[in-house]
């Protein structure tokens, strides 16, 4: 992250200096498609994110420089003042969501830049939202609860950017803690930190980005959510205490099998299994048992590929390469149909795995995957 460049662009445009704030992107070690099923996710903040220099300007206008895009936007704080640039709508949305909650803010100047890889599933948008939400909270002494900062980012996506996302990305960006992952209960919103230090146990965590994203002709996420909801409806006939698939077990699913389709059966089998895998990984980390963590990652990939059917040939190929190279754990990270695998690799196998993945993937698909090493880091904060 080139903070000197941010400072230079701020000074060139606005003169003087502001305060520096940052928020990270995130990974999710395990727990996919569990959020809308009332289950658990297990994210961590990473050492890549957004940095913004911000200073109140004494007006009712926001003036912002997107350093990486070499673009500038200026807008007011009323609902009618939405900017045309997509990136500026994230900042505008944060301002509006703070105001909706009674926060009194005024105009400010800002310049920002980021090093979260775009399109790799590490949530650059959440990092941007969290950076500005946290900064405005401090600069205007608003006293907003940290969870509310995450909800402000989520509401920005819903209301100003057209993305009906869950809370995980913003939660991880706000609450991240170096050396720890966070198990978030998506039903109760309770969370707990778990120690995660792969380096100390002889491992490295690496993302392998296929650099592909398949265009989909239908709405696969909505269809899978509908499958899960249909299964819950059937299970509830005998077990009214079940509100989400997270509340069900495999015995309940088998009991409901005559009344559900084979496809819905597979979708539900993945989600119920994934709920337990998150808990298994948490227990394993407390024991320092990274081998079990890796086993569960492979099981998640198998389920996402065969039962939930959100993988693609490129991601399955990367997972196969990881197995052949002796990688401890590997799986799709994110919604699927492209993007990254997340891999837990013994240090002594790292170089061979990376070179093999690059070579074999390129031989089959015509381009090398991108490699991102990941370090678990702190969440939204002011920089000294």
Catalytic machinery residues: 169
- Is residue 130 a contact partner of residue 167, using CB atoms and an 8 Å limit? no
Read off the tokens for 8. 């230079």
Q: Work out the number of other CB atoms within 10 angstroms of the CB of residue 296.
A: 22
Q: Which residue bears the tokens 């592909």? A: 212
Smallest CA-to-CA distance from 321 within 365, 359, 276 is with: 359
Decide: 173 and 379 in contact? Cβ < 8 Å: yes
Report the alpha-carbon distance of residue 213 to residue 121 in Å, rounded: 11
CA dist., res. 54 & res. 188, Å (int): 34
Q: Write phi, then psi, for 204 (nearest 5 degrees).
A: -130, 150
Comparing C-alpha atoms, which of 342, 346, 249, 245 is closest to residue 301?
A: 342
Residues 6+ apart with CB under 8 A from 179: 195, 196, 197, 376
What DSSP state is assigned to residue 67? T
Strand partners, 343: 206, 330
* Residue 246 DSSP label: G
| Residue 105: alpha-carbon gap to chain centroid | 28
CA distances from residue 300 to 133, 280, 289, 295 in whole angstroms, order as listed: 34, 12, 17, 9
Rounded Cα–Cα distance for residues 248 and 227 (Å): 14
First to last CA, the chain: 15
**Stated length of the chain:** 384
Whether 364 and 32 have beta carbons less than 8 Å apart is answered as no
Q: Which two tokens stand for residue 343?
A: 């891999």
């Amino acid at each position: 992250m080139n903070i000197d460049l941010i400072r230079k662009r701020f000074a060139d445009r606005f003169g003087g200096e502001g305060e520096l704030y940052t928020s990270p992107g995130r990974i999710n070690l395990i727990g996919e498609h569990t959020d809308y099923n009332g289950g658990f996710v297990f994210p961590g903040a990473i050492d890549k994110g957004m940095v913004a220099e911000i200073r109140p300007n004494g007006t009712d206008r926001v003036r912002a420089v997107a350093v990486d895009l070499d673009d500038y936007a200026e807008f007011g704080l009323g609902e009618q003042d939405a900017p045309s640039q997509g990136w500026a709508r994230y900042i505008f949305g944060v301002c509006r969501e703070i105001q909706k909650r009674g926060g009194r803010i005024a105009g400010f100047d800002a310049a920002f830049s980021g090093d979260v890889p775009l399109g790799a599933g590490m949530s650059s948008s959440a990092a941007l939202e969290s950076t500005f939400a946290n900064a405005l909270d401090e600069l205007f002494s608003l006293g907003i609860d940290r969870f509310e900062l995450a909800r402000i980012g989520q509401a920005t996506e819903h209301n100003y950017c057209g993305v009906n996302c869950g809370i995980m990305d913003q939660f991880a960006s706000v609450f991240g803690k170096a050396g720890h992952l966070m198990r978030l209960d998506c039903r109760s919103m309770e969370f707990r930190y778990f120690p995660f230090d792969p380096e100390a146990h002889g491992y490295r965590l690496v993302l392998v980005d296929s650099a592909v994203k398949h265009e989909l002709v239908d709405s696969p996420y909505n269809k899978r959510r509908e499958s899960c909801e249909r299964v819950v409806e059937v299970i509830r006939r005998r077990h009214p205490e079940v509100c989400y698939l997270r509340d069900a077990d495999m015995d309940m699913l088998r009991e409901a099998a005559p009344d559900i389709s084979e496809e819905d059966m597979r979708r539900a089998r993945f989600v119920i299994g994934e709920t337990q895998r998150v808990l298994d990984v948490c227990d394993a980390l407390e024991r320092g048992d990274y081998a079990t963590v890796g086993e569960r990652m492979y099981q998640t990939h198998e389920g996402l590929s065969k039962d939930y059917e959100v993988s693609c040939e490129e991601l399955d190929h990367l997972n196969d390469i990881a197995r052949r190279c002796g990688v401890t754990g590997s799986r799709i990270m994110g919604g699927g149909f492209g993007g990254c695998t997340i891999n837990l690799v013994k240090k002594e196998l790292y170089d061979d795995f990376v070179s093999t993945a690059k070579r074999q993937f390129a031989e089959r698909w015509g381009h090398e995957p991108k490699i991102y090493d990941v370090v678990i880091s702190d969440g939204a904060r002011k920089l000294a």
